[in-house]
Amino acid sequence: MTFLKKIAAALAVLITVGALAACSSTQPKYDAKEPLGPQINYTITGIDAGAGVMTSTDKALKAYGFVEKKWQLKQSSTAAMTSTLQKAIADKRPIVVTGWTPHWMFTKFPLKFLKDPKNVYGKTEQIHTIVRKGLKQDAPQAYQVLDQFHWTPEEMSSVMLAVNGGKDPAEAAKAFVKKHPEQIAQWTKGVTHVSGKPKLTMTYIAWDSEIASTNVVATVLRQIGYNVTIRAMEPQPVWASVATKAADAQVSAWLPNTSAKLYSDYKNQVVDLGVNLDGAKVGLAVPKYMKNINSIEDLK
Ligand code: PBE
């Protein structure tokens, strides 16, 4: 018996040690005394290829002379990027990501934007509402709501956080609309209820910010009587759908920088209703514990 007990105890110790070893990461923590590049394989963790922040980061790598210094931008998705970020932060490992606000990554993680002395990403961004030509004549009430839709980064973040917390986007949008009657009154000022359930289509890119804004606007348009369909697609088809009148509106044009290419390709075929959100920002970001990395120049 005692012998068996001893074996059992030894096994327990072995299992515990093994489990601990498996838990603790093999990758080292951020070392402020060493150059950053080799610590992260000269890699910036990015998102999907179609995103404007990826185009801007390619430009930044060139502008700061990092391409020759073997820096590279890794493609993934917002979900993969934020998951990699979360793991790195849990272990205090170094990481550089493509970042933007409004987004819950800045609420959930201790992140900071890197200064951008060459101004590749621009200072701040605005998000514009884009509608199809002829919408004003065909659906004046919807046009007016889309034209009057305007909110703050904090408000958009609150919906994004709810969705990130597991809420269905349509439910999160409904909850927001219910909680902000004065705001909705402004968006629907002078608008009358429409009859006959006219159809309306909005297209969007399945980024957290666009999921939030599109669902909120769709909820308000439904309340005034429209039969609204929302369709997720890639960035280029979102613009093309509004240009060809296959869709009526989209609320996800990040300008003047992030969506610049698509905006210049399509601006003559769509109607720009102007800013729906002010004070968005795009750039490179790192965890705050990387104290001596404060500018893109510091990646050198
Ligand atoms: N984003 C979020 C998008 C716009 C919205 C910053 C990832 C981009 O085009 O980069």
Please say if the pLDDT value at position 21 is more than 70.
Answer: no
Instruction: Give the pLDDT confidence score for residue 18 in this predicted structure.
Output: 47
- The residue written with tokens 């904090």 in the block is 154
Q: For ligand 1, atom 3, name the residue with the nearest CA.
A: 51
Output the DSSP codes for 194-215: -SS--EEEEEE--SHHHHHHHH
DSSP SS3 for 275: strand
Q: Topology of domain 125-282, per CATH?
A: Dipeptide-binding Protein; domain 3 (3.10.105)
Task: Using most ligand atoms within 8 A of CB, pick from 45, 100, 105, 236 the residue to mutate for ligand 1.
Answer: 100
| Binding site membership of 56 for ligand 1 (Cβ less than 6 Å) | no
- The residue written with tokens 């096994």 in the block is 11
Instruction: List C-alpha distances in Å: 113 to 100, 187, 267, 281.
Output: 8, 32, 30, 9
Instruction: Give the pLDDT confidence score for residue 12 in this predicted structure.
Output: 56
DSSP SS3 for 118: coil
Instruction: Give the pLDDT confidence score for residue 37 in this predicted structure.
Output: 94
Please say if the pLDDT value at position 44 is more than 90.
Answer: yes
Please provide the size of the chain in residues: 300
Q: What percent of the chain has pLDDT over 70?
A: 91
Task: Using most ligand atoms within 8 A of CB, pick from 73, 157, 205 the residue to mutate for ligand 1.
Answer: 205
Domain boundaries, given as residue ranges, for the chain = 3-123+285-299, 125-282
**What superfamily would CATH give domain 3-123+285-299?**
Glycine betaine-binding periplasmic protein; domain 2 (3.40.190.100)
pTM beyond 0.85: the answer is yes
- 268 residue type, one letter: N
DSSP H helices, the chain, are 2-23, 36-39, 52-63, 78-90, 105-108, 135-138, 140-148, 153-164, 169-179, 181-187, 208-223, 235-243, 260-266
Q: Residue 70 — φ and ψ, nearest 5°?
A: 60, 20
Instruction: Give the pLDDT confidence score for residue 300 in this predicted structure.
Output: 84
| Binding site membership of 176 for ligand 1 (Cβ less than 6 Å) | no
